[in-house]
Amino acid sequence: MKMRKIGLRVAFALALLISAYAIVQFIVFSPKSAGMVKLHLLDAEFSYKMWVPFLYLHVVGSAIALAVGPLLFSTRLQAKSMRLHRRLGKLYVLSIGVGGGAGIYLAFESLGGLMSQAGFLALDILWLTSTYFGYKRIRQKRIEQHREWMLRSYALTFAGVTLRFWVALLGMLTIPLENFSQFELLLEDFNRMYRFDAWLCWVPNLIVVEWYIRRQRKSRAHKRFAFAA
């Protein structure tokens, strides 16, 4: 139990760190200073002016969702102020509506070709869908199902963190060091790697959360059975 709490605190700290980084990198500074955007700009046909407003919406929405999400799972906060929990929940849903909606457009413009575009499109659709079901279940007063759907939703929100982990790891393992100083060579290597990143950033997250949800269901079933006996 102690190790699980430590793991959750580390994960939530990373979420806050990436949330702050995204705001500073893309909102405070120019998106053109980001390495991934520089790779986009190597394509003369890339429509930056049309793309960047969607990037801003996606970054702000995702950053808010990453930062707010951990608070929603705090039993201490729920016990202290359910009204605040509901308000934060509405903010979380709204931010994903904005970030996920913009993400659908960005998915079609992502580096890596069709494979990465399909991966990010699937992520955004599932992100919006799981959040919708989480909101719908609490409106129906189905609390356990609400919690399960919101766990799935935040696992997909956390793709903003795990994407950067996989980019760094696969980049170090697959891209020759000398190519990092030559953007033209780096683009080809990055595109090849990004096809896998687009799926690795969220599929393992969802698998882990589904395992956890099913484990919790079994635990609750055993407790009900023991109580009935």
pLDDT in tens, 23-48: 888 888 888 888 778 888 877 778 88
Instruction: Decide if 30 contacts 48 (C-beta within 8 A).
Output: no
| pTM across the whole model | 0.89
Task: Give the C-alpha separation, 84 to 51, whole Å.
Answer: 35
| Predicted pLDDT at 21 | 86
**For tokens 């079609």, what's the residue?**
108
Distance from the Cα of residue 26 to its chain's centroid: 17
Task: Give the C-alpha separation, 94 to 110, whole Å.
Answer: 24
DSSP string for residues in 160-222: HHHHHHHHHHHHHHHS-GGGGG-HHHHHHHHHHHHHHHHHHTTHHHHHHHHHHHHHHHHHHHH
Number of C-beta neighbours around residue 61 at 10 A: 21
Q: What are the tens digits of pLDDT across the range 191-209?
A: 889 999 999 999 999 999 9
* Terminal CA-CA length for the chain: 27
Q: What are the tens digits of pLDDT across the range 47-77?
A: 888 999 999 999 999 999 999 998 898 888 8
Instruction: Decide if 66 contacts 16 (C-beta within 8 A).
Output: yes
Instruction: Decide if 153 contacts 127 (C-beta within 8 A).
Output: yes
